[in-house]
Amino acid sequence: MPAGSFYGLLGPNGAGKTTTLSMAVGLLRPDAGGAWVLGHDVWADPVSAKRRLGALPDGVRLFDRLSGPELLAYTGLLRGMDPATVDQRATELLDVLALGDAGRTLVVDYSAGMKKKIALACALLHAPRLLVLDEPFEAVDPVSAALIRDILGRYVAGGGTVIFSSHVMEVVERLCSHVAILDQGVIKTVGTLAEVRGGRALEEVFVEVVGGRTATGDELSWL
């Protein structure tokens, strides 16, 4: 994927989006092939690759017996950042993401949307050049989603690169410069948003590429 792009990875459930992104950030060892972050091999030279990378994995827990501020401080110090910088950035992130009110509530007691937001804050804390986000908009309320879209938009405008997976077409259509459609572990269509759409609605293209079925109205009549 080109640097500076806002890349959307689309695919139906079970297509392999999470698997792909896990292999890209070093969570899952690929059987074959490799992954490079801005020229650094994730598997051969993980330290320099992971330093440039911020990741929001889906379906994994955080260290959720810490409170939000504690978790951010922990992540920052583990990244080897200076404590004063950690304090300043963490406070700012908590403020912007409206997590400051949670006080010392443990992350395990956060709502699903708040967990997403604190995980995103952890990924942003060290100002990475590449963000890999798995389902960043899932379970997030519309206000927070708008906020996250705004943050990501400014991040890309400032020279960052984002790849995220989703199955919400409107978000992808509104944000992305590039799109790839993944089905059964194979990339079916890839290109800039305009190329993939070809003048049609993205949802139409997606259903056609993936080969979905629509309800005829006869099934489930007992409901």
Q: How many residues bind other proteins (CB under 8 A)?
A: 46
Tell me the Cα Rg of the chain: 19
- Binders in 24-53 for other proteins, by CB under 8 A: 25-29, 46-47, 50-51, 53
Q: Which of 3, 127, 116 is nearest to 53 (CA)?
A: 127
DSSP code of 15? S
- Binders in 118-177 for other proteins, by CB under 8 A: 122
In whole angstroms, give the CA distance from residue 9 to residue 99.
28
- Cα angle: 78, vertex 81, 85; to 5 degrees: 130
Q: Is 16 in the site for other proteins (CB under 8 A)?
A: no
For residue 26, the SS3 value is coil
Q: How far is the CB of 53 from other proteins (least distance, A)?
A: 7
Alpha carbon of 70 to those of 32, 99, 153: distances in Å? 38, 12, 27
Cβ closer to other proteins: 86 or 202? 86
- Binders in 55-114 for other proteins, by CB under 8 A: 55, 57, 59-67, 69-70, 72-80, 83, 86-87, 90-91, 94, 102-106, 108-109
- Binders in 175-214 for other proteins, by CB under 8 A: none
Interacting residues toward other proteins by CB under 8 A: 25-29, 46-47, 50-51, 53, 55, 57, 59-67, 69-70, 72-80, 83, 86-87, 90-91, 94, 102-106, 108-109, 122
